[in-house]
Structure formats: structure tokens, C-alpha cells
């Protein structure tokens, strides 16, 4: 029989209720609350991050190319396929869309606004998949209607210029305005009709300034019929970093290759920072509770000095005494973390299954219920933090108990 473990178990079940017992219960309760809160908050961040990721990869390109393109750019894009990678799925063949992008000036009823226009070649272009789902008024169309180019505008553009479906606007490119200023003439504008309004909820810039129209309109206004960028869609967006590296190596330094994470770097970094900050703040709860473990065990050492001296006289070594209190700290940590994990995972599972906190999507909410996504690495990290802090808190009391002098402990005061 392991005597130190037997004595540690006996100390964990005191015969009488005391202040030290209260402090021990408070420490256990604190670690339980901190552990459960960490699991819940991290799962909540995972849920919102998953929604944001789906919006970003479902609306824009998975990889965007810009810069100086070579004449054989299309052949190189078709030659680079993630399906050739042993880790890729067979449905990962990419599609590329040539785009004509430029700043444009819209004028309507005395109002003027600058927009970011994206010109595509056809209504069925794959890059429009997200726009098509996001249209809430009108019909997505880039082909001319009754001889006029058609604009699909974002909600921000519609609100700032007070535009409605069927309104006619004047469209100009910065190059036209610059030529008019240098030649002292009126800039020529192109009439266009508003065909649809969308709201992506993927990024603020998209919903405030983005306009989709025909490739020919942007090319004629800017005087450049060559693509300004290429949008690449993958069967699996998770392969974007791998494919991007291969594109960089193949296309050279003249082409800028950006993944969907690069295009949304501000939002991605913000979510990571908020997640890390929340983890640190909530981990402080566990840290404070661990200090209570330290106080509880230290007071226990002071209270049981004579018991420790007696144990030493019957043959227990300082290492055995140290083991007694280390085991107590481990038990505090393990029991508290297990209870906290059960509570946290139970709440997350309940929200996923029963949607205790739900939303009315007709009121503009993006999700029907508070999203929760449990990840094993988060659960393991939380458990490791809780048990590590509780174990560290037991080191000082254990060392103090091991240094107890028999003569001083049993001396009658």
C-alpha cells in the first residue's frame, strides 16, 4: 500500500468542517467555473469564426491574383491544380475568372459616389455565386438590358446615392475625368441601369462600395481590355495556402498572390486576437482559484505540523511528505477540471441540440441560434491549463511540509 497516497486521501476528507475546508471548496468552485467558462467562450468563438469563414470563402475568391500578367497566364493557372497533391481531394480542381476591376464614379439625381467596380464576363461566372445568394432586391444580371449596362450594387451604395431598382445612373472612370481635366472638356459618361441590390455581410468594404457589372463596361471606361485580376475558386478552400505557394513559385514576383485570409486579414487577425484575449482573461479565474489552492494547502501544513512530525518519526521521508501535498493539489486540479469540462461541454451540447438561445432571422440575424463549435484541441488546452496551475500551486506547500523540523513541530508551547 502506498502510504503517502493513503494519507493524502485521508486529508482530502476532513472529519470536521473548518475555514481551511471552506477555502478548499472555494478553490474547487473557482476552477470549475473558470474551466466551464473557457470551454463555453472558446466554443462560441469557434462558432462565430466558422460563420465568418463561411461568409468569406462563400462570397469572394479563394485566391486572388493581381499585378503584371504574362500572356500564358491561363495555361499556367490550368496547369496548377491542387488535385495533383496527395493530400487533396479529387474535387479540388480550381476555376479561374478574369476580372476587370476599377474605381468608378456614379452620379444620380445630383448625388455622386465612388465605388469599386468588378467586371465579369457572364452572368454564370462562378465568382458571382456569393452575390447571387446575397441579392435581396432585383435580379443579378451583368448582360446589357435594352442596350444599357446593368449594375448590381451593394446596399451601402444604394443608400448613399438613394438608388432603386430600374434607376439610371451616369458612370465614369477616373481616367476619363483625368483626360477631361487635361483637355479642358466635359468628361464623357456612360449610362447604366440598376438591376439588383445585395448585402453580403462578409466585409464592410464590400457592402459599402462594391458594384458588379459587365467586363466590357469597365474595360471601355478605363480603356484597358486586359484583365486586372484573376479570381480562383477551389473545391476545398482549406487548400488555398498550399495552392497559393505553388502559384507564387510558378508565376514569379510580378504577380501578387493572395488567399482569402490575406484578403480579409483585418477581420481574421481581429478574431484571433479577441479569442486569445478572452482565453487569457478567463484563465485568470483559474489562476485566482489556484491561489486559493495554495492558501488552503499552506494552512493545512501549518495546522498539521505535529501530524507531519509524527509521520516523519515513524519513517516517512521528506519526499513522502512532499508527495502527500502534491497529490492533494493534483486531486484538486483533476476533480475541478473534470467537473468544469462536463458542465461546459454540457452547456455547449445543449445549445447545439436544443438552441436555447435562438434568433429570428426575419429580423436580420445571420444565424438561427447562438453558434457553438467544440474543438478537441480547445478542450485539451483548457484541461491542461487548469491541472497545471493547480499542480504548481501545490509545490510551495509541499516543499514547506517537507522542510518541517520534528523537534520544532512537537515542542510543547
- Rounded to whole angstroms, the Cα distance separating 325 from 369 reads 46
Regions of the chain short of the pLDDT cut 70: 1, 14-17, 71, 80-93, 406-413
User: What predicted TM-score, i.e. pTM, was given to this entire model?
Assistant: 0.84
Phi-psi label, residue 332: left if phi above 0, alpha if psi -120 to 50, beta otherwise: alpha
Q: Based on the domain organization, do 234 and 145 belong to the same domain?
A: yes
Picking from 248, 263, 278, the residue at the C-terminal end of a domain is 263
Q: Based on the domain organization, do 139 and 219 belong to the same domain?
A: yes
Q: Based on the domain organization, do 171 and 273 belong to the same domain?
A: no
Phi-psi label, residue 118: left if phi above 0, alpha if psi -120 to 50, beta otherwise: beta
Smallest CA-to-CA distance from 62 within 134, 130, 136 is with 130
Q: Based on the domain organization, do 98 and 169 belong to the same domain?
A: yes
Residue 87: its pLDDT value, please?
Answer: 45
Residue 165: its pLDDT value, please?
Answer: 96
Q: Based on the domain organization, do 66 and 157 belong to the same domain?
A: yes
Q: Based on the domain organization, do 74 and 197 belong to the same domain?
A: yes
Q: Which residues of 388-404 are buried (b: 16+ CB within 10 A; e: fewer)?
A: ebbbebbeebbebbbeb
Q: Based on the domain organization, do 192 and 285 belong to the same domain?
A: no
Picking from 263, 287, 316, the residue at the C-terminal end of a domain is 263
Residue 407: its pLDDT value, please?
Answer: 61
Q: Based on the domain organization, do 104 and 217 belong to the same domain?
A: yes
- Rounded to whole angstroms, the Cα distance separating 355 from 136 reads 27
pLDDT digits (tens, 9 = 90+) for 185-240: 778 889 999 999 999 988 888 999 999 999 999 999 999 999 999 999 998 898 99
Q: Is the CB of residue 375 less than 8 Å from the CB of residue 341?
A: no
Q: Which residues of 220-247 are buried (b: 16+ CB within 10 A; e: fewer)?
A: bbbeeeebbbbbbbbbebebbebbbeeb
Q: Is the CB of residue 308 less than 8 Å from the CB of residue 398?
A: no
Q: Based on the domain organization, do 238 and 216 belong to the same domain?
A: yes
Scan for cell 507564387, then name that residue. Answer: 248
pLDDT digits (tens, 9 = 90+) for 308-359: 888 888 888 989 999 999 999 999 999 999 999 999 999 999 999 999 999 9
Q: Based on the domain organization, do 75 and 152 belong to the same domain?
A: yes
Q: Based on the domain organization, do 103 and 230 belong to the same domain?
A: yes
Picking from 214, 237, 263, the residue at the C-terminal end of a domain is 263
Note down the domain range covering 377: 3-55+267-410
Residue 410: its pLDDT value, please?
Answer: 65
Q: Based on the domain organization, do 89 and 209 belong to the same domain?
A: yes
* Number of domains into which the chain is organized: 2
Amino acid at each position: 500500500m502506498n502510504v503517502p497516497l493513503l494519507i493524502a486521501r485521508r486529508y482530502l476528507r476532513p472529519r470536521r468542517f473548518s475555514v481551511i475546508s471552506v477555502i478548499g471548496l472555494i478553490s474547487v468552485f473557482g476552477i470549475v467555473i473558470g474551466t466551464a467558462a473557457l470551454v463555453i467562450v472558446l466554443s462560441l468563438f469557434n462558432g462565430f469564426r466558422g460563420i465568418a469563414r463561411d461568409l468569406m470563402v462563400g462570397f469572394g475568391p479563394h485566391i486572388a491574383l493581381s499585378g503584371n500578367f504574362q500572356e500564358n497566364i491561363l495555361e499556367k493557372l490550368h496547369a496548377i491544380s491542387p488535385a495533383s497533391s496527395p493530400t487533396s481531394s479529387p474535387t479540388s480542381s480550381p476555376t479561374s475568372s478574369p476580372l476587370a476591376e476599377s474605381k468608378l464614379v456614379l452620379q444620380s439625381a445630383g448625388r455622386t459616389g465612388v465605388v469599386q467596380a468588378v467586371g465579369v464576363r457572364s452572368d454564370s461566372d462562378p465568382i458571382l455565386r456569393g452575390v447571387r445568394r446575397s441579392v435581396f432586391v432585383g435580379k443579378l444580371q451583368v448582360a446589357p438590358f435594352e442596350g444599357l449596362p446593368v449594375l448590381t450594387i451593394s446596399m451601402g451604395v444604394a443608400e448613399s446615392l438613394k438608388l432603386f431598382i430600374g434607376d439610371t445612373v451616369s458612370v465614369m472612370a477616373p481616367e476619363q475625368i483625368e483626360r477631361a481635366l487635361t483637355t479642358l472638356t466635359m468628361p464623357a459618361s456612360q449610362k447604366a441601369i440598376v438591376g439588383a441590390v445585395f448585402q453580403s455581410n462578409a466585409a464592410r468594404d464590400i457592402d459599402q462600395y462594391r458594384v458588379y457589372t459587365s467586363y466590357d463596361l469597365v474595360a471601355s471606361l478605363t480603356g484597358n481590355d486586359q484583365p486586372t485580376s484573376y479570381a480562383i475558386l477551389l473545391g476545398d478552400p482549406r487548400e488555398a495556402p498550399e495552392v497559393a505557394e505553388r502559384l507564387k513559385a510558378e508565376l514569379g514576383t510580378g504577380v501578387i498572390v493572395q488567399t482569402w485570409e490575406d484578403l480579409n486579414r483585418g477581420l481574421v487577425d481581429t478574431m484571433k486576437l479577441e479569442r486569445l484575449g478572452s482565453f487569457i482573461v478567463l484563465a485568470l479565474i483559474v489562476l485566482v482559484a489556484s491561489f486559493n489552492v495554495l492558501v488552503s494547502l499552506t494552512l493545512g501544513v501549518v495546522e498539521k505540523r505535529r501530524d507531519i512530525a509524527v509521520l516523519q518519526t515513524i519513517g516517512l521521508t521528506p519526499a513522502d511528505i512532499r508527495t502527500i501535498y502534491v497529490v492533494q493539489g493534483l486531486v484538486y486540479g483533476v476533480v475541478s477540471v473534470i467537473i468544469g469540462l462536463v458542465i461546459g461541454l454540457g452547456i455547449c451540447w445543449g445549445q447545439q441540440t436544443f438552441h436555447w438561445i435562438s434568433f429570428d432571422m426575419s429580423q436580420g440575424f445571420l444565424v438561427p441560434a447562438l453558434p457553438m463549435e467544440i474543438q478537441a484541441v480547445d478542450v485539451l488546452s483548457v484541461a491542461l491549463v487548469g491541472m497545471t496551475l493547480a499542480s504548481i500551486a501545490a509545490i510551495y506547500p509541499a516543499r514547506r511540509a517537507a522542510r518541517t523540523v520534528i523537534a520544532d513541530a512537537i515542542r510543547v508551547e
